[in-house]
Structure 1
Amino acid sequence: MKLIGIPQWQAKHFADGSAPDEVTVRRWLRNGKLPGRKVGGTWYIDEAEWLADGDELVRRVLDKAS
C-alpha cells in the first residue's frame, strides 16, 4: 500500500487546472469511490490500489515497486 496526500495525487496525476477539487476528493474517499484512509485528520489516497483499479496482479506489482 502506497499512501499519497491529496495535493501530491492531484499534482502527479492531473494536468494543471484539470484536477478534481480537494473537497470532492475527500468526499470520494469517505464514500469509498476512491481507495484510501484517514490518518489523524488527513486523508491519503492508496495510489497503488487506485492505479490497479481492482486488478490484483497490477496491485501486487505496484506494491512491490514502491
Structure 2
Amino acid sequence: PYPEDPAVYKPLSQEELQRIKNEKKQKQNERKQKITENRKHLSSVRVVQRNLVFVVGLSQRLADPE
C-alpha cells in the first residue's frame, strides 16, 4: 500500500521563508488591531476590580447590599 520510493523533501527558498514569515506577522498584527478596536469603546470605562460591578440607577426595592 505504500510506495517504494522515499518522500522527496524540497527545502524552502529564502524568499518563500521570508514571505511566510511576513504573512504570519501581518496576520498577527491584524489580530492585535482587531482586539484593540474591540476594546476602544471601553476607554471611557474605569475598572476597579475585574469581578466588581457597580450598578447605577437601580431601584431600592431591587437593591441588595450584598
What is the TM-score with the length of structure 2 in the denominator? 0.18
The higher radius of gyration belongs to 2
Bigger strand share: 1
Q: TM-score normalized by structure 1?
A: 0.18
